[in-house]
Amino acid sequence: MSEPKDYLGHFEEIVLLAVMRLAENAYGAKIRQTVAEATERDVSIGAVYATLDRLERKGYLKSWQGEATPERGGRAKRYFRVEGAGVQALNDTNGARNRLAHGLDFGLDVA
């Protein structure tokens, strides 16, 4: 039997993808903005940080403190990077979704 896969929740997947898209600019406020724009929904910074913390505990993300900046009142930004396990979880989740959706008619007439 193959090793069990680890599938992501919907919001976890979106947050991981936002971190990947932002690359070296992946910090809390920018991640929240990217997720809000992509989902066309208001997203709280608390929900984003709770998800980032959960993903880091699972080993899907790594975070570190940047340099303190005067425009942030001397506070440092916390940056994030997707780890290999996070990429694998994205691939597993996407594969499961594609297998389930294959051949389904969603009733969309796209011209």
- Looking at the chain, the whole-number percentage of residues with pLDDT higher than 90 is 73
Q: Is the Cβ–Cβ distance between 80 and 61 less than 8 Å?
A: yes
- CATH number of the structural domain 10-97: 1.10.10.10
| Residue 79 identity | Y
Averaged pLDDT for residues 100-109: 82
What digits encode the pLDDT tens for the residues 35-70?
999 999 999 999 999 999 999 999 999 999 988 777
Q: Residue 41: what pLDDT?
A: 96
Higher local confidence (pLDDT), 56 or 5: 56
SS3 call for 95: helix
Question: To which H or E segment does residue 65 belong?
Answer: strand 61-68
CA dist 45 → 3, 7, 15, 39, 60 (Å): 34, 23, 12, 14, 19
Q: Which of 102, 16, 27 is nearest to 59 (CA)?
A: 16
Averaged pLDDT for residues 81-107: 92
What digits encode the pLDDT tens for the residues 11-25?
999 999 999 999 999
